Amino acid sequence: MLRNNEIISLVQEFQDKQGFKELHWEGSFEDYLEIIKKKPRLARSAFQRVYDMILSYGTEVYTVNKEQIIKYRFFDDPISGCQDAVYGLERPIMKMVNFFKAAAQRYGAERRVLLLHGPVGSAKSTIVRLLKKGLERYSLTDEGAIYSFRWRHGEKSDMVTYAECPMREEPLHLIPTAWRGKLLDGLNEGFSEEQKIYIEGEPCPFCRHTYRELLKKHKGDWVELVSNEVRVYRFVLSEKDRIGIGTFQPKDEKNQDSTELTGDINYRKIAEYGSDSDPRAFNFDGEFNIANRGLVEFIEILKLDVAFLYDLLGATQEHKIKPKKFAQTDIDEVIIGHTNEPEYRRLQSNEYMEALRDRTIKIDFPYVTKLSDEIKIYGRDFNPTKIRGRHIAPHTIEMASMWAVATRLELPKDSKITILQKLRLYDGKSLSGYTEDNIRDMQKEAVREGMDGISPRYIQDKISNALVSMEHDKCINPFMVLNELGNGLQHHSLITAEEKRKHYRELLAVVMAEYEDITKTEVQKAISADEESLKKLCTNYLENVKAYTQRTKVKNKYTGQDEPPDERLMRAIEEKIDIPETRKDDFRREVMNYIGALALNGKTFSYNTNERLQKAFELKLFEDQKDTIKLTTLVTGVVDKDTQEKIDVVKARLIRDYAYCEVCATDVLNYVASIFARGDIKGVWTKK
């Protein structure tokens, strides 16, 4: 154990005194002017700050179905190690960032409320939490530095005391309005349009009062006032300290009070200053006040009382709030709210809310409809470090995700494809006869896709239930989780229509059938994963194909005699990948041409060079070997030593190649054995 002095020494190593000094910089108004001449973006608006913060983490550009997608790395949550990473919502995030871009460039969007709209559990709160967290971190950097000012308040015990601007305003607000035009012309000389500094807004009531009194003291000398009475300082945004980031959550209607947004009178100071309209007797600590220069979040914004909405309208359109007994006060902040569909429908039907609707930019955040992204959501929460020694069998998360996504998709209007085929198309898989244009058309037709269905929270809850209720099992498998998902539907609070419940159960059966096929295929591959046997089968097939296409014979390695090509062997392999009799000649010539093209490039053909042929070899080898392994004996429980050794080899391959553990490898072999026992193979071993 470390001694106390060793602990103190260790803490000293973590200290960054220089960094602390930079974050607590203080200087004169003139010093601040020098800073913004070098870095004019430091005097930017709140919208510019949010937009710059998002861009500071970089972007990636890629194309999906002929549509260019910009992925903003900030939403991968590099700050907290992907803890709040948002997956599969690139399109709505692009719309949101474009809103910030337009607002940053003063195109009018800065005078709107940003409303994130979508079903429960669609990452709306997570996105706002990311923005708040990002602003906090950004204000710690040199590029994200933010400044305000203090007034000289007096002297106490030989120390000068200062009173901070309660709303942490931009120091340039101290420049009188009448002078700003000419001063900005000089300040912006040589700057590009993006670099230009703007001064928007007037000092808050407290600062106006202090400014007037001090201007009298200095007999109207503004330069002397800012030189002697004003200190500019750097501060850091913090939600916990209520500095630049505010959060408002509606309470019941009887307890709502607009002073929570705009501040309230400090009755203890009325006696000191003689009036309740003296700004020194007022606490400018409402959510709008403290969020100045940053961001304010409205949780379930449409549950606000109508009286609150009046404050919200002014804050949005005019960037002004009305504290009790004071004139309208300027604010500079991003106003962002989120709500669900029922609340938004109520807004649409309420004629008294027309002004709010007109000042709102709504962005839909649907559920994820791409399987691989849905898998990432649960993979983040249920990984080996979090499930503490338990094991989740392969495909468990995948099957739960598949069902969740399937519930969110609209049934295909094209009767030629199934819901799972549509799901795979959305996930980037190919399907014969369907192009990128077809997929885009499907997505456009399904206008409500992703706005309904099963929430990720429900999936997370049921996986957690499976982990807890199966504590005696070291491993949970897809059937356990799918059963949990099915059993919970009867009491799902958000499913009110029996028809919908029935549809979700039918989709569960579809996913279970899909898992059955996957397990059969993996066991088949494990049985036929003998690389030497695959190489021999490949060599044998190619020798016969070569002889067939060149009209020669094959030498029998046992008899030494020349024999005709083995048609039965070639067809047995080709039938596994659905090559019809009428196409066999063309296919064999294609194979030889393919091998020749590889040879010209200095490459050799192997059993795994061509994915389609590899599958054919594996299926043929499985067919030859499955009877020797006798999986069906697992059902009877009577397994001889020789068969057990072969089964153990297959189990070891499942563990090595497919991430099974001893428990789930045994389970999947027993399950597939039961399928053999009932004779239910349905040609699955020749599945595409």
Q: Which of 71-80, 418-427, 479-488, 644-653 has the lowest mean pLDDT?
A: 644-653
Q: Between 116 and 154, whose confidence is greater?
A: 116
Segment 201-255, tens digit of pLDDT: 999 999 999 999 999 999 999 999 999 999 999 999 999 999 999 999 877 666 6
DSSP letter at 204 equals -
Question: What residues contact residue 134 under an 8 Å CB cut-off, 6+ apart?
Answer: 53, 54, 74, 79
Rg (CA), the chain: 35
- The answer, yes or no, to whether residue 685 has pLDDT greater than 50, is no
| Phi-psi domain of 175 (left: phi exceeds 0; alpha: psi -120 through 50; beta: other) | beta
* pLDDT score for 501: 93
Query: Position 184: which residue type?
Result: L
* pLDDT score for 642: 76
* pLDDT score for 19: 85
Sign of CA dihedral 17, 18, 23, 28: positive
CA atoms within 13 A on the CB side of 513: 11
Q: Between 406 and 7, whose confidence is greater?
A: 406
**Helices 611-629, 567-574: crossing angle, 10 deg rounding:** 100
* pLDDT score for 49: 97
Q: Between 565 and 309, whose confidence is greater?
A: 565
Contact 337, 312 (CB under 8 A): no
Backbone angles phi, psi at 355, to 5 degrees: -60, -40
Segment 57-92, tens digit of pLDDT: 999 999 888 889 999 999 999 999 899 999 999 999
- The answer, yes or no, to whether residue 158 has pLDDT greater than 70, is no
Q: Judging by DSSP bridges, how do beta strands 26-27 and 230-235 pair with one another?
A: antiparallel
Share of the chain above pLDDT 70, in %: 93
Contact 553, 559 (CB under 8 A): no
- The answer, yes or no, to whether residue 387 has pLDDT greater than 60, is yes
- The answer, yes or no, to whether residue 135 has pLDDT greater than 90, is yes
- The answer, yes or no, to whether residue 170 has pLDDT greater than 60, is yes
* pLDDT score for 687: 37
Structure token pair of residue 457: 């929270």
Chain-centre distance of CA 240, in angstroms? 24
Segment 582-625, tens digit of pLDDT: 999 999 999 999 999 888 888 888 888 888 888 888 888 887 77
Contact 391, 475 (CB under 8 A): yes
Rounded to the nearest integer, the mean pLDDT of the chain is 88
Measured distance between the N- and C-terminal CA atoms of the chain, rounded to whole angstroms = 61
Whole-Å CA distances, 665 to 235, 395, 635: 57, 12, 15
Segment 520-561, tens digit of pLDDT: 888 888 887 778 888 889 999 999 999 999 999 988 877 778
Contact 286, 260 (CB under 8 A): yes
* pLDDT score for 151: 94
Instruction: Name all contacts of 261-264 with Cβ < 8 Å and 24+ positions apart.
Output: 261/286, 261/287, 261/288, 261/308, 261/311, 261/312, 261/321, 262/286, 262/288, 262/289, 262/311, 262/321, 262/322, 262/323, 262/324, 263/289, 263/323, 263/324, 264/324
- The answer, yes or no, to whether residue 390 has pLDDT greater than 60, is yes
Question: Of 478, 485, 484, 486, which Cα lies nearest the Cα of 522?
Answer: 478
- Residue 247 and residue 299: Cα distance in Å, rounded? 7
- Residue 280 and residue 524: Cα distance in Å, rounded? 80
Whole-Å CA distances, 631 to 456, 626, 628, 651: 38, 8, 9, 12
Question: Of 414, 405, 494, which Cα lies nearest the Cα of 450?
Answer: 405
Q: Judging by DSSP bridges, how do beta strands 113-117 and 59-64 pair with one another?
A: unpaired
**Stated pTM of the model:** 0.86
Query: Position 584: which residue type?
Result: K
Q: Which of 97-101, 307-311, 391-395 has the lowest mean pLDDT?
A: 307-311
Average pLDDT on 179-191 reads: 89
- The answer, yes or no, to whether residue 1 has pLDDT greater than 70, is no
Total count of residues recorded for the chain: 688
- Residue 182 and residue 440: Cα distance in Å, rounded? 53
